[in-house]
Amino acid sequence: MTSLFRRTLGAFSLMVLLLTTILAAGLFSGYNRSITAWGRERESSVEPIVRDILTEHRKKASTPEGFLPEALSRLPLDVPVFIFDTDREMIYSNRGAGRRREAEGMTLAAVRDDQKRHLGYYTVGAAQFHRDAANLALQEALFRAALGAILAAGALAMIAAGLLARYLAHPAAEVASGIDRIATGENLSPIPEVGAQEISTIARSANILVRRLQEEQHLRAQWVRDVVHDLRSPVAMVTAQLEAIADGIYAPEEQRIHRILTELGRVEGLIQNLDELMRLEASEIIPDIKTFSLEALQESLRNRFDDAGREKNISLFWEIAPSPEEPSPETSTSLTAPSITGDQNLLYRATANLLDNAIRYTPPEGTIRCILERMPGEARITVTNSGAPIPPDELPHLFDRLYRGEYARNTPGSGLGLTIALRIARIHQGSITATSSSDQGTSLVIIIPQ
């Protein structure tokens, strides 16, 4: 594959060659037109001289033998001139008598004096610019100057083309090298954002990709440490309990077996979250979009989380905001039981993840409020808890894949629940927003277009 430098240099060289050809053609055309105009001017200057020659010739009878008209010396040598008397016999020429045949077949022009008396005829050949020594010297000087100018301009243009091609190609080569390093994972250092706008834009986009890859690597490493931590604790506990039972230290009591099953459930939950996230991120997933009642969604959520709230002494408040609609003759009120369109199972999973987080981070005696509402053009599911506020610098990363903030570092969980919820919202072409403050608590809002 040809490099950008060679392509650019070749394009500029071709352009220089084309411009040089056009310039040479223009100079040649202008030269020919100038020669033609010069010839016409020279030919038009002959007639007055011929009139003087024929006037003097009429007086030849009274002049000595061998007399030549004085005006004959004024004929230009670079224009063939043949002069004839009234009987069409050639009497004078600036080419000599031996060149009489050159005048054969040429059109004769009549010559008259000021009194309209017929003096004779004359004819001229094509003007020959190069027959004059001064003209020939001028022609050679112009040719040398034009050739030198063309060669100098071409050389300077080629040098400028090379420098410009290098100026354009060098940043592109740096960008290409940097992208190659990114592709091979050799080095994720920033790429210089220099050169033309298009090239600097590519470099800027590549640097954004580098930063995201670095963030992804950091998040992945942190997530692996968290997952290892979450797996190590239950696995170590289960291993220790089973070894103690096998050694006869502990009896296989029901309570002990229940604790082992609880720890295994934590491991199973983590694996299920990973499997679900991979399934939701698969491009072929198709949501089962249907219209369903918000009351049915709320009932399912209450059946799951009311007991969990009571166990932790947390007050859960459930609310379905009424949906305003245009009144009709068949109804006596403008408030109807709201329903929304979406995949009920996926939206249940997303809301359950938000409630799981709310219960996990809300202290005893705290409150959690879940509001389901249908608004014009969208549905909203809001989960608000009175737990500790999330630091402002962590809010932008709250839904990042594999991210767990410092406030969640020492709590159970894989850090995938909110990522799964966001993915479900995006499958519905929606979004999730998060706000957190010490006086208003933390609110997560799922927005689904309708």
3-state secondary structure 382-410: EEEECCCCCCCCCHHHCCCCCCCCHHHCC
Nearest to 430 by CA among 274, 289, 284: 289
146 and 125 within one domain = yes
User: What are 366-405's pLDDT values in tens digits?
Assistant: 999 999 999 889 999 999 999 888 888 888 888 876 565 5
Average pLDDT, the chain: 80
Burial 284-294 (b: 16+ CB within 10 A, else e): eeeeeeeebeb
What percent of the chain has a predicted confidence (pLDDT) above 70?
82
Q: Exposed, middle or buried, 370 (CB in 10 Å: 0-12/13-18/19+)? A: buried
442 and 399 within one domain = yes
272 and 176 within one domain = no
294 and 267 within one domain = no
- Looking at the domain assignment, is residue 327 inside a domain? no
53 and 31 within one domain = yes
pLDDT band at 23 (very low <50, low <70, confident <90, very high): confident
302 and 179 within one domain = no
410-426: average pLDDT: 77
- Looking at the domain assignment, is residue 332 inside a domain? no
Q: DSSP labels for 112-157?
A: E-TT--EEEEEEE----GGGSHHHHHHHHHHHHHHHHHHHHHHHHH
Contact 252, 219 (CB under 8 A): no
| 15-20 own/partner pairs: CB under 8 Å, 24+ apart | 15/161, 16/154, 16/157, 16/158, 16/161, 19/157, 20/150, 20/153, 20/154
| More confident: 140 or 282 | 140
C-alpha dihedral (164, 176, 400, 217), degrees to nearest 10: -140
155 and 102 within one domain = yes
User: What are 292-327's pLDDT values in tens digits?
Assistant: 999 999 999 999 999 989 999 999 999 998 765 544
Q: Chain centroid to CA 443: how far?
A: 39
Which of the listed residues 156, 187, 218 is the one where a domain comes to its end? Answer: 187
Nearest to 279 by CA among 287, 269, 268: 287
Q: Exposed, middle or buried, 308 (CB in 10 Å: 0-12/13-18/19+)? A: middle
Q: Is the pLDDT of residue 259 over 90?
A: no
Kindly state the DSSP code that residue 3 receives in the 8-state scheme: -
Q: What is the pLDDT of residue 294?
A: 93
Strands (E), 266-395: 290-293, 315-321, 323-324, 335-336, 339-342, 367-375, 378-385
Write the CB contacts of 188 (distance below 8 Å, at least 6 apart in sequence). Answer: 181, 182, 210, 213, 214
Length of the chain: 450
363 and 265 within one domain = no
Question: What span, in angstroms and rounded, lies between the C-alpha atoms of 17 and 25?
Answer: 12
Lowest-confidence pick of 118-127, 313-322, 413-422, 436-445: 413-422
What percent of the chain has a predicted confidence (pLDDT) above 90?
20
176 and 259 within one domain = no
Kindly state the DSSP code that residue 192 receives in the 8-state scheme: P
Nearest to 364 by CA among 382, 389, 387, 390: 387
240-249: average pLDDT: 85
Q: What is the pLDDT of residue 1?
A: 47
Question: What span, in angstroms and rounded, lies between the C-alpha atoms of 385 and 19?
Answer: 75
Q: Distances from the Cα of 279 to the Cαs of 257, 355, 432, in angstroms? A: 32, 22, 20
User: What are 124-151's pLDDT values in tens digits?
Assistant: 877 666 666 667 777 788 788 888 887 8
- Looking at the domain assignment, is residue 195 inside a domain? no
Which of the listed residues 139, 155, 187 is the one where a domain comes to its end? Answer: 187
Q: Is the pLDDT of residue 412 over 60?
A: no
286-296: average pLDDT: 90
- Domain range holding 259? 207-279
316 and 230 within one domain = no
Q: Is the pLDDT of residue 189 over 90?
A: no
Report phi then psi at 8, rounded to 5: -65, -45
Contact 368, 356 (CB under 8 A): no
- Looking at the domain assignment, is residue 42 inside a domain? yes
Specify the 3-state DSSP secondary structure of 105. Answer: coil
435 and 364 within one domain = yes
- Looking at the domain assignment, is residue 220 inside a domain? yes
235 and 138 within one domain = no
- Looking at the domain assignment, is residue 166 inside a domain? yes
Which of the listed residues 187, 218, 244 is the one where a domain comes to its end? Answer: 187
Lowest-confidence pick of 29-43, 183-197, 233-247, 289-303: 183-197
User: What are 44-68's pLDDT values in tens digits?
Assistant: 888 889 888 888 887 775 555 566 7
What's the whole-model pTM score? Answer: 0.48
Q: What is the CATH number of the domain that holds 351?
A: 3.30.565.10
The residue type of 246 is A
Question: What span, in angstroms and rounded, lies between the C-alpha atoms of 43 and 94?
Answer: 14
Q: How many domains does the chain have?
A: 3
pLDDT band at 329 (very low <50, low <70, confident <90, very high): very low
Q: Is the pLDDT of residue 156 over 90?
A: no
β-pairing, 335-336 vs 323-324, is antiparallel
